[in-house]
Amino acid sequence: MDTTATQAPTRSSLIPMVIVAILFFVLGFATWLNGSLMPYLKQMLQLTPLQASLVLFSFYIAVTFTALPSAWLIRKVGYKNGMALGMATMMLAGLLYIPAAQTQTFVLFLLAQLVIGAGQTLLQTAVNPYVVKIGPEETAAVRISIMGILNKTAGVVAPIVFTALMAQGFVANNDSVMTQAQIDTMAGSLVLPYLGLAAFLGLLALAVKYAPLPELVKEADSDNRGQVKAALARPSLALGVLALFVYVAVEVIAGDTIGLFALSLGVERYTVMTSYTMACMVLGYVLGIALIPRVLSQQAALAVSAVLGVLLTLAITLGDTGSYAIANTLLVPFGGTALPDTLLYIAVLGLANAIVWPAVWPLALSGLGALTSVGAALLIMGIAGGAFGPLAWGLLSSSGLGQQGAYIVMLPCYLFILFYAVKGHKLTRWR
């Protein structure tokens, strides 16, 4: 049976879409806090770049072992209850950050990241099919782009809010030898914000539970292994999972390591750098809504994004960190901050990345029918790329390449996305 929205003829889809839009904003806010939290913890706990990358690894690795159980749980309790449970899990994770900050224990921070990642996975597995199935398949990328704008706008807001709330905790630069009092101040600054986040997530979980969301028709409960095997027998889905894996890897590298790189270059408010990347992603989503499918097909937009990603990756790794030409031309005359060109190239990756997620989902889910929830869970597992991408970047950063040269890890990722756009999504059987 196909997964479609079932609702009374007189009930408008406006309220459900508003609720889903709020959930996408919350997903973005909680996710892109990582871009500020990671360099903040690196400085507070005196971590190496590799250790700091574990902050992202623990968040995104949760997808690997919770995506398929999330699909099973959603078949049991429904999509609406799945969303509420996802929010409740994220609330519990928010509370875990408080003892982590009070004890300044890195392992507790990693545990909190793992739990909030699990909650995000459940929420994502439930909410994404809503957007894909609530309208015509050929315009699904546009609907996902609208949700993406809210998600990435939250990514712009989250680092700014974090930086404002943590203002008293900042130490001037990366090379400062901090006193215990300074470390205690940085740690203490985390408590109230995460307590507030947990309270908000708990209230939102209750709101979703009792909101007038129409339920999607649940697929018949059956053997999970058989469904996974049947879904992966479709190359367009299997390759789509890999495309999302490498996409999330480069998205997280661009959004969350930019702060670490800025810290290494002596940028004082390094925790706000993720906002630059997210602002470019919002611009990309707006362009997607304007151009798809009027000017570009979903496949063509995906190919253009991949090519732009390749070009920017080369510019980042080969660029001069001492050059401020772009900022001096486009930012400083309008009151902006002088930033190295290489940092701005990383930010512009947001533009290249924006259309990939909304383009891959409809291409990969096309024609799955009763396998939609399992297909969605497998695609959600692609988010695990966010664990391994930054980890690979961290490992390369510790080598002779340094942090700048380590961005070369993105090159094969964009090349695979290009392959999926040109050929991979068209494959109907394995040869």
């399992």: which residue's tokens? 374
What is the C-alpha to C-alpha distance for residues 302 and 117, in angstroms, rounded to an integer? 27
Average pLDDT over residues 304-314: 96
The tokens describing 388, both together, are 């391994």
Residue 288 has pLDDT above 50, yes or no: yes
Torsion from C-alpha of 22, 24, 27, 32, nearest 10 degrees: -110
196-212 tens-digit pLDDT: 989 999 998 998 888 77
- Per the model's pLDDT, the better-predicted residue between 222 and 431 turns out to be 431
Closest CA to 61 of 126, 111, 27, 98: 111
Q: How far is CA 406 from CA 254, 276, 316, 317, in A?
A: 12, 20, 10, 8
pLDDT class of 343 with cuts at 50, 70, 90:
very high
pLDDT class of 124 with cuts at 50, 70, 90:
confident
Give the chain's mean pLDDT. Answer: 84
Is this prediction's pTM over 0.75? yes
Domains in the chain, ordered, with CATH? 14-212+224-426 (1.20.1250.20)
DSSP string for residues in 196-249: HHHHHHHHHHHHHHTS-PPPBPPPPP--HHHHHHHHHTSHHHHHHHHHHHHHHH
Average pLDDT over residues 140-167: 80
Average pLDDT over residues 25-46: 87
Q: Do residues 391 and 53 touch, judged by C-beta distance below 8 A?
A: yes
């889905």: which residue's tokens? 237
The tokens describing 164, both together, are 């404002």
Residue 375 has pLDDT above 90, yes or no: no
3-state secondary structure of 295: coil
What is the C-alpha to C-alpha distance for residues 381 and 273, in angstroms, rounded to an integer? 27
Residue 221 has pLDDT above 70, yes or no: no
Residue 175 has pLDDT above 70, yes or no: no
The pLDDT assigned to 135 comes to 62
- Per the model's pLDDT, the better-predicted residue between 420 and 271 turns out to be 420
Residue 4 has pLDDT above 90, yes or no: no
Contacts of 404 (CB under 8 A, 6+ apart): 261, 316, 317, 319, 321, 342
The pLDDT assigned to 3 comes to 42
The pLDDT assigned to 223 comes to 55
Closest CA to 262 of 328, 344, 160: 344
**% of the chain beyond a pLDDT of 70:** 88
What is the C-alpha to C-alpha distance for residues 262 and 273, in angstroms, rounded to an integer? 7
Average pLDDT over residues 297-314: 94
232-244 tens-digit pLDDT: 888 889 999 999 9
What is the C-alpha to C-alpha distance for residues 68 and 376, in angstroms, rounded to an integer? 9
Residue 22 has pLDDT above 60, yes or no: yes
- Per the model's pLDDT, the better-predicted residue between 19 and 326 turns out to be 326
What is the C-alpha to C-alpha distance for residues 35 and 255, in angstroms, rounded to an integer? 6
Number of H helices, E strands in the chain: 20, 0
